[in-house]
Amino acid sequence: MAGQGRAARTAARRTAGLGLAVMLLLPACTSDTAPVDPTADAVRRTLDARADAVVRHDRDAWLAVLDPGATALREAQGTEFDNLGDVPVGSWEYRVEGVRHQDGRAVADTELRYRIDGYDPAPVVASRIVELTERDGRWYITADRPGSGAPQQLWQQGDVEAVRGARSLVLGVGQDPERLRDLARAADLAVPAVGDAWPGEWAGRVVVLVPPSLEDMGRLLGAPAAGYRGIAAVTTGESGGGPDAPADRVVVNPEAYGLLGAFGQDVVLTHETVHVATRAHTSAATPMWLSEGFADWVAYRGSARGAEEIAPELRDAVRAGDLPATLPDDGAFSFGGDAEALARAYEGAWLACELIAERWGEERLTDVYRTVGEAEHRDGAVEHALARELGVTVEDFTAQWRDHLRERLG
């Protein structure tokens, strides 16, 4: 079947003739077996060779599967292969989802799946469309581009420099090496801080990507860059994923992150590392106030700074008599809108989690997070978790949170 093919160095190769059967065509017999597409098998073999070349760091083999007459493509792909040289690739594979025939060409819809050695418990997955043409009985690649809406990969933006920390890997393009080393040091501090606040199994390491610019950040995320203009970093990943979920990446905005002081940079990296650690327990049932508030709570945990310093926008609102009536909804955390309103949402979420940790204990806070994440649906998830873990209703908790805002910020 076209959707079951897997082209990879680490995958078992399938013999083209395996499973062929002799069918006797009797008048009363029919067969529902789909015809085998020999082109699909040839495409898989070409992509097998391409994947094998990456893992073996064989530039000649990487270029050998490209159309010999496609000079510009071969030059661009050679540069891309060189850009990838410092990335410790542990595995690289293409899963062929389907092959279409168009004007004598084959167009393969594929999933690129790769792991960074020592850091990824599961592969990163990226949709790719690969075009091929036949020459002298062999199929050669003539184009390789992202699938619809799929993001770029970092090595497609320039030469990647890798800095290994004790618990981190920082990959940057167009960055000062000392800046990458500073990021690795900060990430190395963030990982144990998160592990201390979040008991449970997680990778215990983090991969940080630093693109050349804000625009390139948007391309890595497959979204308009304008929405991330004031955001120092974001984390990519699949909520609620188990051990087979795609690996997380912390993507740094080189412009906004560079404007922060050392304390702010540490807070940002710790916050994003929390998202990496809690990903398996974050689901569609988890409201943003809980996921973002918990990440900030861990990031500020143990800080000598008071609430007035950490939550200045909400402080000013409370003192002006504008006390929020409810916990911030998901829409309040949207990027690209009112920056002050966004700050108040994060600050209010942090104080909600701080309230739970102070009044009921840190263990209860993590229990609330896990219980909410276990729910199948958003409706009733928070209500159930608050009742089970804290013995309060949402209304009771909201009233206590509002009192907490007055006490801490008034």
In the chain, the percentage of residues whose pLDDT exceeds 70 is 89
Helices (H), 56-150: 59-64, 71-83
pLDDT digits (tens, 9 = 90+) for 183-201: 999 999 999 999 999 988 8
Longest dimension (CA), the chain: 88
Q: Is residue 123 part of a domain?
A: yes
Can you tell me the distance from the alpha carbon of 281 to that of 297, in angstroms, rounded to the nearest whole number? 17
Residue 20 has pLDDT above 60, yes or no: no
Nearest to 135 by CA among 204, 69, 44: 69
Residue 247 has pLDDT above 80, yes or no: no
- In a shared domain, residues 173 and 79: no
Residue 22 has pLDDT above 60, yes or no: no
Residue 230: band (very low, low, confident or very high) from pLDDT cuts 50, 70, 90? confident
Can you tell me the distance from the alpha carbon of 35 to that of 107, in angstroms, rounded to the nearest whole number? 18
**Domain CATH code at residue 241:** 3.30.2010.30
Tokens in use for 401?
């949170």
What is the model's pLDDT at position 15? 31
pLDDT digits (tens, 9 = 90+) for 256-298: 999 999 999 999 999 999 999 999 999 999 999 999 999 999 9
Q: Is residue 340 part of a domain?
A: yes
**Long-range CB contact pairs, 334-342, < 8 A, 24+:** 335/227, 335/228, 335/231, 336/226, 336/227, 336/229, 339/230, 340/313
- In a shared domain, residues 94 and 196: no
As a whole number, mean pLDDT of residues 61-89 equals 97
- In a shared domain, residues 111 and 58: yes
Bigger pLDDT: 13 vs 258: 258
- In a shared domain, residues 203 and 262: yes
What is the model's pLDDT at position 4? 33
Residue 239: band (very low, low, confident or very high) from pLDDT cuts 50, 70, 90? low
- In a shared domain, residues 219 and 306: no
List, in order, residues 6 or more apart from 13 with CB less than 8 Å away.
48
In the chain, the percentage of residues whose pLDDT exceeds 90 is 78
- In a shared domain, residues 107 and 165: no
Residue 397 burial by Cβ neighbours in a 10 Å radius (0-12, 13-18, 19+) = buried
What is the model's pLDDT at position 242? 57
Given 86, 113, 148, which residue is the final one in a domain?
148
- In a shared domain, residues 140 and 199: no
Q: Is residue 274 part of a domain?
A: no
Residue 14 has pLDDT above 50, yes or no: no
The pTM is what? 0.86
- In a shared domain, residues 163 and 89: no
- In a shared domain, residues 102 and 179: no
- In a shared domain, residues 171 and 242: yes
What is the model's pLDDT at position 246? 66
- In a shared domain, residues 43 and 136: yes
Given 107, 122, 148, which residue is the final one in a domain?
148
Q: Is residue 42 part of a domain?
A: yes
CA distances to 19, 25, 153 from 31, in Å: 16, 9, 44
Q: Is residue 17 part of a domain?
A: no
As a whole number, mean pLDDT of residues 91-119 equals 92
Given 238, 266, 294, which residue is the final one in a domain?
266
Q: Is residue 21 part of a domain?
A: no
Residue 77 has pLDDT above 50, yes or no: yes
How many domains is the chain partitioned into structurally? 3
- In a shared domain, residues 309 and 402: yes
Q: Domain of 174?
A: 151-266
Residue 8 has pLDDT above 60, yes or no: no
